[in-house]
Amino acid sequence: MQLKEYFKKELVFYDLSVADKGEFFTILSQKACSLGKVTDEFEVNVKKREDNFPTGIQLEDFAVAIPHTDAEYVKEEFIAVAVFKEPVKFSSMEDASAILDVRAAFMLGLNQPHSQLEVLTELMGIFQNKETMAKIINSSSKEELENIIFNI
């Protein structure tokens, strides 16, 4: 499956304003649950996993996060994308004591063993493309953000 097939318009959030990553997890988890993509236990488990295994990644110009949890909580695979109105604090994947100001998060809902490596590899390629990431972070509307994501 191509990366863009994991993205769903209903799970693209532009200019998302949240108090913290917990609120972000709640909003995206509830939306994914209402769409039948995850179980009711997804939210609590994505929060738990993030606490134990942080997913913040410092890129050259921005920080992003790739929160996810175990496959058993995912009914249908997806990638939810949120570009935040104001940066949201996430702990770094490399050093949990380092706090990053994350501008965009890609929440992964994967339930096939082969999917995770494939998706993470492709996402890392996107993250390393400064031009694409700048377009995502600086998008000026939900429609523009969707256009960028669905044409990666």
Cα-only R_g, the chain: 14
Pick from 22, 3, 6: which is nearest to 65 by CA? 22
Confidence at residue 114, expressed as pLDDT on a 0 to 100 scale: 83
pLDDT along the chain (152 residues), means of 10: 91 98 98 98 98 97 96 97 98 97 98 89 95 96 96 88
Q: How far apart are CA 49 and CA 85, in angstroms?
A: 24
Query: Structural domains in the chain?
Result: 3-150 (3.40.930.10)
Please report the pLDDT score of residue 115 as a whole number: 87
What string of H, E and C letters represents the secondary structure of the chain? Answer: CCHHHCEEEEEEEEEECCCCHHHHHHHHHHHHHHCCCECCCHHHHHHHHHHHCCCEEECCCCEEECCECCHHHECCCEEEEEEEEEEEEEEECCCCCCEEEEEEEEEEECCCHHHHHHHHHHHHHHHCCHHHHHHHHCCCCHHHHHHHHCCC
**The predicted structure's pLDDT at residue 145:** 97
pLDDT value of position 11:
98
The whole-number pLDDT of residue 88 equals: 99
